[in-house]
Structure 1
Amino acid sequence: MSLKLVIGNKNYSSWSLRPWLAMTAFHIPFEEIMVPLDTPEFKARVREHSPAGRVPVLIDGEAVVWESIAILEHLAERFPDKAIWPSAAAARAHARSVATEMHGGFGALRREAPMNLWRPVEPRAFPEDTLKDVRALQRRWNEARERFGAGGDFLYGAFSAADAMYAPVATRLRTYAIEVDAVCSAYVEAVHAHPAFIAWKEAALQETHIVEADEVDWPQVKRV
């Protein structure tokens, strides 16, 4: 039975990017169902698939899974041969911890720098709580790369669920020209160079639907 993934607009929906990126990177076939964000019918349409009324939603037969990190865990359980999490126990434990931290943390960075893939790379001023999140983010990435990153360009060497969770933040750092250290800068480049992310972004740049709340230059909509 084929999997179905319900997502929001690719330009803006950071939560949707995470499972889509993982499923595409690990060559897990699925049907994509896109529901435009910030429309009157959004919640009703999503609730046709899930009671949560939010994207993303994974439909796997009778199993309905929402929340990005829960979807990633379901996929890891469903496809144990895909190495969605790092294989080494210590690395896997660390990856799950930082992925969960991303799921519930870095609120100021997410609020002040919404994902917007069609915005040109331009800096903007950020309050101290956002810069504090950036510093914390750098510590996590540096620790993962130093302890577990040998053998590849991603947090744990090979691409994993942790990278899927942090990919939207990598786009924010680039979009808003947020300065980070060399290790983190290289990681941002690795995320943007991944074929699955390239495919997502190419589709995002073709979209036309605008979400005002995620356009930090509103009423101007800047597009590359």
Structure 2
Amino acid sequence: MYTLIIGNKNYSSWSLRPWIALRATGVAFTEQKLGFFTEEFSRRVGAVSPAGLVPVLLDGDFAIWDSLAICEYVAEHHPEAGLWPQAPKARARARSLAAQMHSGFGALRQALPMNVEAHLPGITIPEAAQKDISRLHAIWHDTRAEFGQGGPFLFGAFSIADAFFAPVVSRFATYGITATGTVRDYMDAVLALPAMQDWMRDARAEATFVPEDEPYRKHR
């Protein structure tokens, strides 16, 4: 069985991605959660990953780090999980979107860090982050229109693309980002996933130490 090493559920958007991909599609794994800003985190993660970051997937004594690499590895080994759409064009688009989320939207990440337990509507959002929000709304709307038949997610059934946008949906819920129509329906579908509900419940139950100079503190 796989072991997935993750960080705090309240903050670790990178950890949420492979965690929800595995949980939502029924791939068995054991979770090992390590608190950020602890000696255990540095020691344990450093022992299995040269990147020194979470998430890390262990398949026996073989380690895969980086959220996208983990999801690809699981998709290859568990085709029955349907983590990528079957149709070639839909699959190519899903991979494009996951990669775009993986490497982009820096202004949004900086302005609206993931903070599941908080409810912080009405904060001032910089113009660059507002542009990221508009781009994401357009991506979700257009993808649902082109590929979303047969289910409530971007490509109908849940996929890695949805796993990569799940932390953004969480951010939008925390900061009260408004949405209507197709975009609102998509966000509601992600938030209603049993796996997402489990993650958010665990995040709210955490007691987390955050140093004064960490960006996570600015919206607590």
Q: TM-score range by the shorter chain?
A: over 0.9
CA distance in 2: counterparts of 1:75 and 1:123, whole angstroms: 39
Match of 1:213 among 209, 215, 220: 215
Q: 1:3 maps to what in 2?
A: 2
CA distance in 1: counterparts of 2:131 and 2:179, whole angstroms: 12
CA distance in 2: counterparts of 1:173 and 1:183, whole angstroms: 15
Q: 2:166 maps to what in 1?
A: 167
CA distance in 2: counterparts of 1:208 and 1:85, whole angstroms: 35
Cα deviation digits, residues 16-65 of structure 1 (max 9, x gap)? 00000011011111111111112344322211221210000001124311
Give RMSD over aligned pairs: 1.3
Give the SS at the match of 1:31: strand
Give the SS at the match of 2:115: coil
**8 Å CA contact retained: 1:116, 1:215:** no
**8 Å CA contact retained: 2:55, 2:67:** yes
CA distance in 1: counterparts of 2:209 and 2:162, whole angstroms: 27
Q: Which structure features the higher share of helix residues?
A: 2
Unmatched runs of 5 consecutive residues or more in structure 2? none
CA distance in 2: counterparts of 1:53 and 1:41, whole angstroms: 12
Q: Give, in angstroms, the shift of residue 179 of structure 1.
A: 2.1
Give the SS at the match of 2:48: coil
**8 Å CA contact retained: 2:101, 2:164:** yes
What's the TM-score once normalised by structure 2's chain length?
Answer: 0.94
Q: Give, in angstroms, the shift of residue 127 of structure 1.
A: 0.7
CA distance in 1: counterparts of 2:101 and 2:126, whole angstroms: 20
Q: Give, in angstroms, the shift of residue 137 of structure 1.
A: 0.8
Q: Give, in angstroms, the shift of residue 121 of structure 1.
A: 4.6
Cα deviation digits, residues 138-169 of structure 1 (max 9, x gap)? 12111210100011111111111110000000
Superposition map of 1:44-59 within 5 A:
44-59=43-58
Cα deviation digits, residues 54-78 of structure 1 (max 9, x gap)? 0000011243111111100000001
Q: 1:26 maps to what in 2?
A: 25
